[in-house]
Structure 1
Amino acid sequence: MSRPRSSSWCRGRDSLRGECWHVVRDGASPSGTMRIVDETNGTQGEQGSMQSLEQTLAAVEGIGRELNAVTSVMRGRARTLERKSAQRAAVGEPKRLLEGVPFAVKDVIDVAGFPTTMGSNVSSGPDPSTSAPVVSLLEKAGALPVVKTNCQEYSYGILGDESAFGRVINPIDPTLCTGGSSSGSAALVAAGVVPLALGTDTAGSVRVPAACQGVIGFKPTFGIVPVEGVFPLSPSFDTVGLFARDLPLLTAAFAVISGNGSGSIPTGSSPTKAPTVDLSLLNPTGESSADVQTWVERHLGDSAIASITSENTDHLTELIERGIDYYDIVRRYEAYVLHKQFLDDQGEKYQPGVWAKILSGQNITEAEYQSNVVALEELRASAESFFDDVDFIITPAMGGDVIAWDELGPDSAATFMRYSLPFNVLGWPAVTLPIGAVLDGTTSGSDESSGTVCGEASDTTAATSPRAKPLSVQVVGAPHSDEKLLAFVAGL
């Protein structure tokens, strides 16, 4: 029997407090069972792990590559920026908001001097000479880009099952699906390799892998974060999003990439009235809703935090059903138009499932597309009135439990996107927050004082068995209420 190997990385046990787990892998391969041992001797503040840049780079080369989450390591760029940070400090310049925070970049986002692979063997052009604005903004705030991450090919798929580099491995349990498309970014945050990562979200591609891997995932309001330098899947829905284990860090990073606010969670006097939270999408008989309802009762029941309503089922359902039809036409048309330039010369280089999705848009006419775009814009405008009497919506993060790779079937993608896709269509901001684990069909490890990720159970062996699966909740806000949404989540 191979000797258990102790890794030097940790992942946050509590998404809001940032405590630490020590992870031991039994066996030498990435498929070995992970045992999570609670050790709070690590230090992590609001800006993420306090480990040095060199320790982070070592973790990227070590556990990051074991998880198959790495496509490029940006050690030279990160070291140069770290030296500049030290020079600023030496001459007394004020500390920037994200000073010294390492971050990962999904490999559909340009970083100057590094290939943007899209998780594909298809050549999309020369290596970029300039970085995407979201990367440049983080760097200007003091953050250090250390790694580009493996992803679903061209972001086209919610499961994370097709990349030219192979699948990313889920740090929670190697048998579990990672979700996609931003699977590598989620994995590096979940494994504690980096405290912060960029992804993209077109139908749930940040929130779903965050839920599958037990970290916080945030999709801002559509259009509020620049997407230049990001290879699109469907420009009508694409949004750059964030992964973190620490909510204050995520909030600060959002302030930076949106250019909006100071990056601190709003404090001060309490609102004149408690916000109203809509639970209409929590189906009492739904498998994915029961644990979320239990969590809601613990955190919102009989409290002054919020009032609750479940009276908008018909309204929400109608919005969602209309929007999904528009999404299907618009997304397939836009994806095909983007990729048809590669149709003749490089079609055989695509992953089979991704290529099939691309070809599914070839018979949609421009007139059909344009009519759906107009309808989509009208829906988004009219749907804002939903928030006249509601402040937030709470739903499950996915349509069921996180499932194993060998359990994937023809309906899995729709199940994964059930609660994330509608809010890409509507353009509303949404956060998925880890709240516990599902063990043999029951919630394990819930802590009434805070949201927790899979592994909080006292029996650490059971908590990381194939039957222990992360459980997350989704909280949705009105368009352009991103800071208000993050502040509300911070108070849960």
Structure 2
Amino acid sequence: MALLTCPASHVALFELYDICTMGSFTRLAATIAATAAVAAASSSILVSTTAASGAFAYTLGNGTRTYYSPAAPVVSGCFDDNNLSKDELLPLTVLRITDKTITADLLANLTSTYAEFDDVWTTEFLGGGALVFSAPEGAVLDASASAWIVAAGSKYLLPTTGLDISSFNGSVFVAPDSWDLKPGPYVLSIAPAGEVKIRQTYALHRDNLEAFLFGVTPVSGKSVYAQVDLFASSYQDAWIPMPSRLYWLDDERPLAGVRVALKDIYDLEGVQTGGGSRAYAEVYPFSNKTAVSVQKILDLGAVVVGKTKTSQFAHGADPWQFVDIHYPWNPRGDGYLTAASSSSGSAAAIAGYDWIDIAIGSDTRGSVRKPAALVGSYGIRPTWGSMDLTGVIPLADEMDTVGFFARDPALFTKIAGLWYENAPTAVNKTFARFPEKILYPVDYFPLRNPAAQALFEEFITTLETEFGMRRTEINLTTTLRESVSDPVITNATAFQLNSNRLAEYVSYHKVGVPLAEKWNDTFGGYPPLDPNPRAAFRRSENLTEADYDEAVEFKNKFKEYFLGNVLRPDKETCSDGIMILDMGTGGLPSYREQALNSLPGATALSVTVPVGGPNMPSNYLASTAGCPEIGIPVGQVSYESEISLQTEMMPVNVDLVAAPGCDGMLLELTNRLAELGIARTVKTGRMAF
């Protein structure tokens, strides 16, 4: 078969396929009817839906899984061969072979390894499809391998040049050397005049937790992405395309192929950033540059699979406080618990879907730590200033951080160590040993559920027996009141008002005002917003720069006090102690429906506050002092569900706080806890363990 060269100027990438006829082109419209006609010639692929762009979804033979292929092919070319069947759409598998002799056993073992390693490619791709062999120069396909290919049902063989296939009697056309395809699953389309296009293929997963806004796929393997606007018609759940892990088999980058769910306040080139606001998405174009922090993890080899929901502009909100976008569902327990905010979409995704490896959120005053506690995942708020926030919708410049969620402690610590490496603010300060003190704030304990408190006690005992630490009780509320005269720091109401100003002033001036101006210029009037940001922007109208500077000053006063008297930096241990906290709800269920939280045994969504007197919620401590904090799932407790009317399980996290820059020490402690079997991998679904 001879390969013809198609004029580059005529190659269209964003349609189903072109027809190549003697160097001239006739366009075949990318319609469902046309796609179905193409598929009818093949018993291997059934096309189920087609996007107007030319991308299409399909099922393999038995229809148990749905796949998606983008419009743009990774390779294309025209073949002059009258024996080549036309109007075909076939599954294709690329096998990367290093041996010089290709046998049936080698192919059986290789495909078995592929199927075990990957959750996208299956042996169904072999039946009635095509095989591309990427093999060394001079490699030989022996008779047993030829028989294996026939038995597998593959219709075509596309060997690379230099591979001896004389033993094979089936249909062959030689793949050009320029077709440097990665191992894994693809779709092969053959147009009537012989044009061949090969596209990557993705497994489609339905987002029934409503954690995502939409899925994305990388364009031509670059850092540019394209939105995938596919939805289940009954409920409008997004279909999220999942790339094969086989595509990264030869990639030596440390995070090659790690799948990432991305909170919708981060820019991703080629994709809409909406910040949880329809109005914002309406007046701002798709991003033309990826956020610095996201680009850093992409450069390490990770791949984004979709944008997750956020409460609007990352302002805190309860599940019922939305106008624009429905709140995600926490998969734990009866499925009716809150996942907190604002990174609830990312938290729901990591707790609900095993096809996600990590989920990126942001943490200003607890937006990673609280959801992590409520869904039972690992979560980190790093040292403030640890990541360049260019390309991220801001909330509070003085407290914003880039955090993430994970289920596996080894992956969690690996990614944190790599991602925060070479940070603008040091996060891996050296330490010779772990701190000896476990700071136990008695005004925040015991938890309201004794079973949850028992899990904390067991965890503390482990730190004492395995690491030689000792519990050191502290009453933070009393200490503050006795040591600090400033009422803005010691009075809970004043402290929260000051913290609100740090967020509201920045969000209003950097997000609210520009949005209002763009909306008025385009549509007239003021943009529709969710209740919480709308109220915050109204309050901020009269805030002055002097008010904001005063809030920063008070924040710095608290930080100075906290780091001088509570969690002191230390040369040997990095932090002279580790504070233990609860970021959850004290082990009680908090529902996504407001009325249920007033029933006996339930609680409103509020992070633990001191017993016997108002003061700051526990999530404010690290935020205001700029400290790193890590959440570790340690177990689960039972509750009587008002929804399922039976006993359910909900997760419990222990949070650890250290002095700024001691992220590395906390991560190493997490590693050691994993080695002891204390920090365990959590499951997806109703129960974490």
Shorter-chain TM-score: which interval?
0.7 to 0.9
SS in 1 for 2:310: coil
Letter in 2 for 1:335: S
TM-score (norm 1): 0.74
1:149: Cα distance to partner? 0.6
Could you tell me whether the CA contact under 8 Å between 1:281 and 1:394 is conserved in 2?
no
Could you tell me whether the CA contact under 8 Å between 1:277 and 1:309 is conserved in 2?
yes
The aligned counterpart of 1:128 is 287
Within-5 A mapping of 1:84-103: 95-103=252-260
C-alpha distance 405-122 of structure 1, shift in aligned 2 (>3 A): same
1:199: Cα distance to partner? 0.5
Alignment partners' CA distance in 1, 2:318 and 2:506? 20
Alignment partners' CA distance in 2, 1:407 and 1:189? 25
Q: Which 5+ residue runs of structure 1 have no aligned equivalent? A: 1-6, 9-48, 442-461
Q: Which has the larger share of strand?
A: 2
The aligned counterpart of 2:621 is 422
The aligned counterpart of 1:362 is 541
Deviations 1:300-342 (A, max 9, x none): 3444442221135333676675854531222222222231333
Could you tell me whether the CA contact under 8 Å between 2:456 and 2:654 is conserved in 1?
no
1:352: Cα distance to partner? 2.6
The aligned counterpart of 1:311 is 474
Letter in 2 for 1:140: D
Deviations 1:126-154 (A, max 9, x none): 11111011111111111111111111111
Could you tell me whether the CA contact under 8 Å between 1:151 and 1:163 is conserved in 2?
no
The aligned counterpart of 1:337 is 509
Could you tell me whether the CA contact under 8 Å between 1:158 and 1:208 is conserved in 2?
no
Q: Which residue of the other structure, out of 581, 584, 587, is the alignment partner of 1:395?
A: 581
- More divergent stretch after superposition (288-297 vs 275-284): 288-297
Within-5 A mapping of 1:273-312: 275-281=436-442, 283-287=444-448, 290-311=453-474
1:294: Cα distance to partner? 2.5
**Quick check: 1:145 aligned with 2:304?**
yes
Could you tell me whether the CA contact under 8 Å between 2:639 and 2:650 is conserved in 1?
no
Deviations 1:85-143 (A, max 9, x none): 989965xx7x2211111111101100000000111111252111110111111111111
**Quick check: 1:350 aligned with 2:529?**
yes
Alignment partners' CA distance in 2, 1:112 and 1:54? 28
Q: Which has the larger share of helix?
A: 1
SS in 1 for 2:651: strand
Could you tell me whether the CA contact under 8 Å between 1:212 and 1:402 is conserved in 2?
no
The aligned counterpart of 2:636 is 437
Within-5 A mapping of 1:25-104: 51-52=118-119, 61-63=204-206, 65-77=207-219, 95-104=252-261
1:422: Cα distance to partner? 2.2
Letter in 1 for 2:262: V
Higher Cα Rg, which structure: 2
1:478: Cα distance to partner? 0.7
C-alpha distance 285-199 of structure 1, shift in aligned 2 (>3 A): closer
Within-5 A mapping of 1:151-190: 151-161=310-320, 162=322, 164-172=324-332, 173-190=334-351
Q: Which has the higher contact order (CA 8 A, sep 6+)?
A: 1
Identity over the aligned pairs, expressed in percent?
A: 23
The aligned counterpart of 1:116 is 273
Could you tell me whether the CA contact under 8 Å between 2:362 and 2:368 is conserved in 1?
yes
TM-score (norm 2): 0.54
Letter in 2 for 1:309: T
Could you tell me whether the CA contact under 8 Å between 2:374 and 2:584 is conserved in 1?
no
Deviations 1:46-97 (A, max 9, x none): xxx954467999998434x21111112112449667999989965xx7x221
C-alpha distance 464-302 of structure 1, shift in aligned 2 (>3 A): farther
C-alpha distance 189-79 of structure 1, shift in aligned 2 (>3 A): farther
Within-5 A mapping of 1:4-43: none
Alignment partners' CA distance in 2, 1:156 and 1:60? 33
Deviations 1:184-242 (A, max 9, x none): 11111112230111101111111111111111111001111121111011212111101
